[in-house]
Structure 1
Amino acid sequence: MGTSRNVERRTILKAAGATAATLGLAATTACGGDGSTSSDGTVTIRYAWWGAEDRAQRINKTIALFEKKYPKIKVKTDFQPYVDFWKKFNTQASGGNPPDVFQNAIGFLRKYDAKNVLLDLSEQVKAGNLSMDGFRAGLEKFGEIDGKLLGVPVGSNSMALVIDKHVYTRAGVKPEQGWTWDDFDAAMKKIRDKTGRAGDSGMYGVMYLYDLYLRQNGKAFFTEEGLGFTEADLTDWWTKAKKGIQEGVFADAKKVAQVKPKSAVSAELAASEFTWDNFTVRYTSEGKSEYGLAPIPTTDGKKTGQYLGSLMLSGSKRTQHPKEVAQFIDFMVHDPEVAKIMGYDRGVPATQAQYDAFKPTDEVNKAIAAYEESLVKAGVLQPITPHPNGADICESAFLRIAEELALGTRSVADAVKQFFTESKTALVV
């Protein structure tokens, strides 16, 4: 796996919604389509995704397998970097010409469903063209919104704490399942005092981590209608963030910004940071140390609030070939040979058949698989928090405003007020 893709993967968490948030999408209707059928009955469907060149090479190999199995279905492909993908998709959808099938993410399901863009795949399941059996850890429910199947998972990931093993060892810190936030705070100070390095890169701009913290405390970042927490809640969270930077247990935000796109951990500014488990490969590729995955801290020593997230495949409501789209998705999520080609490029394979088909040989991917297995074994996984229409805009605002707070250009009170102001606008139905 190349560095370019792994850098891009990290930016997905931080950039989600950054550009799409500013783009208006005109409503489309379920008519017409952009696929084609030749005189001999051969159907052509368009498939689009975001990613780098190495992902494209892998996907093209899987498409060759699909076309061999389904010689009457041809697949025309298109891929872009993450932000460019959503720019182009928005333009296509606004013009009534989105790709027949495309890569998608949870933050965009309600957004594009509200714009009448997404195909409800449940009818294709009933018709036998798409199977939702054999998914791991409840992932078959991941793309269900309001009784509609709007996306099918291709892989899974979960939030984790990526650590520099050598620094943690020198500090005598050994995180274990069930450690608390108090334990985490003590560990950050111990790392600072014994190694001279900040314990963490600064975690308070990561919306998905804050969601886990809220879930541990009986709340959530989102409800189906909007935000699931108060200004007082966020004030507490961001007050701790500012204090952590001032005390040196979190990395200097200005230095973190200077080393981007390199991570603060691999740049040796911090000993750890919270991110998605399948991003781990990038640290090994750009850093000099040995990196590992540690559990999410808890409030009560038990509940982490975690779930398995996933990239998905969705269909266009305008497609003229819903059957072929469903057959394509079915092949991509179930065929064992696809897993052998894709590996963990889009996360740990979502179906058991593909999970069993690909056994990583490198230590980093072995650790990712072991981490997700440990979550299942520990019984901490729960259903994902619903994401309302406008969630992508909220995520973008959360990241940007938290960074301004970290850099000292906003006070906590001002940052909280600004976030809620922008979110109320974004989440108006």
Structure 2
Amino acid sequence: MGTSRNVERRTILKAAGATAATLGLAATTGCGGDSDSSADGTVTLRYAWWGGEPRTIAIKKTIALFEKKYPKIKIKPEFTDYEAFWEKFQTQASGGNPPDVFQNAVGFLRKYDKRGVLLDLKTQADAGNLSLDNFRNGVLANGQVDGKQIGIPVGANTMALVIDLKAFKKAGVEAKFGWTWDEYFEALQTIQDKLKIAGDTGYFAIMYLYDLYLRQNGKAFFTDSDLGFTEDDLTQWWTDGYKRVKSGLVADPKKIEQVKPKSGLSAGLAASEFTWDNFSIRYEGEGESDYGLAPIPTTDGKDTGQYLGSLMLSAFAGTKHPKEAAQFISFMVHDPEVGKIMGYDRGILATTEQYDAFKPADANNKGVAAYENEVAKAGVLGKITPHPSGADVIEAAFLRLGGEVAQGKSKPADAAKALFSEAKAAFAG
């Protein structure tokens, strides 16, 4: 994840709804240095995150709120884009000097827990410095590894299908809960036949979508320590995907590349795209059509394989100020005013205090909330798939190799073999 520019572009552009200008924001207000205490007892904590300019503006407002409530704790912000964040963090962690508090994701939890970087925040919760109460839909478990609480969710999201509403309506096809993969691809074929555009922008290089497909079939992308599928499984997935590129059902990857940083969906090259539901806000700003969230296709007409993922806040195990770091995290995930400021930038707000405080006014955010509520009511949500150490490297490899298959540069079987080889090295690292 942190080593692939393609991964960074796909994730950050979507997460921030960013323009090329926004991605030019790679500023930091400091590049290290231990957190410190001044003569008057004031403590300074380093807080780092990735994301576009809108996220940075919002987070700085929340920092000001915190410092007003806790005048003896000062926050030193560090921010950049996704790829640069993890490259820098890896260097900092190796040198024993990561930020006191930082944005984190499930793909990195075991990796940095294994290296002793992450603070078990249960100790601070037991000491009364951090509340672990009022988290919605069981998302608190996303930050737990081997009985430790090493991440605290700030938001929740789930995979969704974003569709061009006008294209679907014009073609006379409907997306509905419980539809199967066969029905999905039949709908895309109708769109291709009637509208002369591709149905999908390139579904088969998205690791998290493949995870859902595997879960629908009794497997998962990861086990606690390995891959949860076979080379033959992946070869079939990529073979089917490449056939759909050749038939025009999936958009030409060269054309998708040409329109970046705009997505292929909002550029009108295809009628649908799989992504995280809270990333869907980007499309209205980029495209000229109307877009909506549609259900994930299924294998059996019921089970989507979905779960709630989340961005989190973690703390450095070696911080000189664990109490203050925990107080900061607790404020950031529970304070209602922080919820109003952040909105759904990092997903549907994770705690009831913030979820109840933020009332989305625009149709896009209302749609995201409604979608997650519908998915929850459908009773299909399961627990998040475990992510072993090395998951970030494997996600980058999956995207890269899937892209090579789409372009005809690698045969599906060869790409699958390469992924398993790279996964073996990543797990051993």
Work out whether residues 15 and 345 of structure 2, in 8 Å CA contact, stay in contact via their aligned partners in 1.
Answer: no
Give the Cα separation in 2 of the matches to 1:421 and 1:11.
30
Work out whether residues 36 and 45 of structure 1, in 8 Å CA contact, stay in contact via their aligned partners in 2.
Answer: yes
The answer to whether residue 234 in structure 2 is matched with residue 228 in structure 1 is: no
Partner of residue 79, structure 1: 79
Work out whether residues 133 and 140 of structure 1, in 8 Å CA contact, stay in contact via their aligned partners in 2.
Answer: no
Which of 8, 11, 14 does residue 12 from structure 2 map onto?
A: 8
Work out whether residues 7 and 282 of structure 1, in 8 Å CA contact, stay in contact via their aligned partners in 2.
Answer: no
Work out whether residues 62 and 341 of structure 2, in 8 Å CA contact, stay in contact via their aligned partners in 1.
Answer: yes
Partner of residue 121, structure 2: 121
**How far does residue 84 in structure 1 lie from its aligned partner after superposition?**
1.1
Work out whether residues 5 and 52 of structure 1, in 8 Å CA contact, stay in contact via their aligned partners in 2.
Answer: no
Partner of residue 27, structure 2: none
Give the Cα separation in 2 of the matches to 1:334 and 1:201.
37
**How far does residue 10 in structure 1 lie from its aligned partner after superposition?**
2.6
Give the Cα separation in 2 of the matches to 1:244 and 1:423.
26
Q: How does 1:73-222 map to 2 (within 5 A)?
A: 73-222=73-222
**How far does residue 258 in structure 1 lie from its aligned partner after superposition?**
1.4
The answer to whether residue 371 in structure 2 is matched with residue 367 in structure 1 is: no
For each residue in 1:104-152, what CA deviation from the matched residue of structure 2 results, as whole angstroms up to 9, or x when unmatched?
Answer: 1110011111111111101011111111111111011110011111100
**How far does residue 6 in structure 1 lie from its aligned partner after superposition?**
9.5
Give the Cα separation in 2 of the matches to 1:159 and 1:54.
22
Give the Cα separation in 1 of the matches to 2:11 and 2:391.
23
For each residue in 1:178-223, what CA deviation from the matched residue of structure 2 results, as whole angstroms up to 9, or x when unmatched?
Answer: 1111111111111111111111111000000000000011100000
Give the Cα separation in 1 of the matches to 2:402 and 2:225.
23
Q: Which amino acid aligns with 1:111?
A: K
Partner of residue 248, structure 1: 248
- 3-state DSSP of counterpart to 1:387: coil
Q: Which amino acid aligns with 1:59?
A: I
Q: Work out the number of aligned pairs and report it.
A: 406
Partner of residue 269, structure 1: 269
- 3-state DSSP of counterpart to 1:403: helix
Work out whether residues 245 and 252 of structure 1, in 8 Å CA contact, stay in contact via their aligned partners in 2.
Answer: yes
Work out whether residues 6 and 281 of structure 1, in 8 Å CA contact, stay in contact via their aligned partners in 2.
Answer: no
**How far does residue 54 in structure 1 lie from its aligned partner after superposition?**
2.2
Give the Cα separation in 1 of the matches to 2:165 and 2:419.
35
Give the Cα separation in 2 of the matches to 1:372 and 1:353.
18
For each residue in 1:52-103, what CA deviation from the matched residue of structure 2 results, as whole angstroms up to 9, or x when unmatched?
Answer: 2221111111111111111111111110111111122122111111110000
Q: Which amino acid aligns with 2:86?
A: W
Q: Which amino acid aligns with 1:330?
A: S
Q: How does 1:373-384 map to 2 (within 5 A)?
A: 373-384=373-384
Structure 2 CA distance for partners of 1:275 and 1:246, relative to 1, 3 Å: same
Give the Cα separation in 2 of the matches to 1:154 and 1:387.
19
Give the Cα separation in 2 of the matches to 1:111 and 1:290.
40
Work out whether residues 10 and 279 of structure 1, in 8 Å CA contact, stay in contact via their aligned partners in 2.
Answer: yes
Work out whether residues 201 and 270 of structure 2, in 8 Å CA contact, stay in contact via their aligned partners in 1.
Answer: yes
Q: Which amino acid aligns with 1:62?
A: T
Unaligned runs of 5+ in 2: 1-7, 17-32
- 3-state DSSP of counterpart to 2:137: coil
**How far does residue 11 in structure 1 lie from its aligned partner after superposition?**
7.4
Give the Cα separation in 2 of the matches to 1:136 and 1:105.
18
Q: Percent identity?
A: 64
Q: Which amino acid aligns with 1:167?
A: A
Q: TM-score, normalised by structure 2?
A: 0.92
- 3-state DSSP of counterpart to 2:160: strand
Give the Cα separation in 1 of the matches to 2:123 and 2:196.
58
Give the Cα separation in 1 of the matches to 2:225 and 2:106.
15
Give the Cα separation in 2 of the matches to 1:308 and 1:319.
30
State which drifts further: 46-55 or 164-173.
Answer: 46-55
Runs of 4+ in structure 1 displaced over 3 angstroms? Answer: 4-7
RMSD: 1.6
Give the Cα separation in 1 of the matches to 2:130 and 2:297.
38
Work out whether residues 43 and 73 of structure 1, in 8 Å CA contact, stay in contact via their aligned partners in 2.
Answer: yes
Partner of residue 309, structure 1: 309
Unaligned runs of 5+ in 1: 13-32
- 3-state DSSP of counterpart to 2:205: coil
Q: TM-score, normalised by structure 1?
A: 0.92
Partner of residue 66, structure 2: 66
Structure 2 CA distance for partners of 1:224 and 1:88, relative to 1, 3 Å: same
Give the Cα separation in 2 of the matches to 1:38 and 1:101.
19
Work out whether residues 175 and 295 of structure 1, in 8 Å CA contact, stay in contact via their aligned partners in 2.
Answer: yes
Q: Which amino acid aligns with 1:370?
A: A
- 3-state DSSP of counterpart to 2:204: coil
**How far does residue 7 in structure 1 lie from its aligned partner after superposition?**
7.3
State which drifts further: 149-158 or 419-428.
Answer: 419-428
Work out whether residues 223 and 386 of structure 2, in 8 Å CA contact, stay in contact via their aligned partners in 1.
Answer: yes
For each residue in 1:6-40, what CA deviation from the matched residue of structure 2 results, as whole angstroms up to 9, or x when unmatched?
Answer: 9724379xxxxxxxxxxxxxxxxxxxx92212222
Give the Cα separation in 1 of the matches to 2:114 and 2:383.
22
Work out whether residues 7 and 262 of structure 1, in 8 Å CA contact, stay in contact via their aligned partners in 2.
Answer: no
Partner of residue 353, structure 2: 353
- 3-state DSSP of counterpart to 1:365: helix
Give the Cα separation in 2 of the matches to 1:54 and 1:243.
39
Work out whether residues 171 and 194 of structure 1, in 8 Å CA contact, stay in contact via their aligned partners in 2.
Answer: yes
Q: Which amino acid aligns with 2:346?
A: R
Work out whether residues 14 and 280 of structure 2, in 8 Å CA contact, stay in contact via their aligned partners in 1.
Answer: no
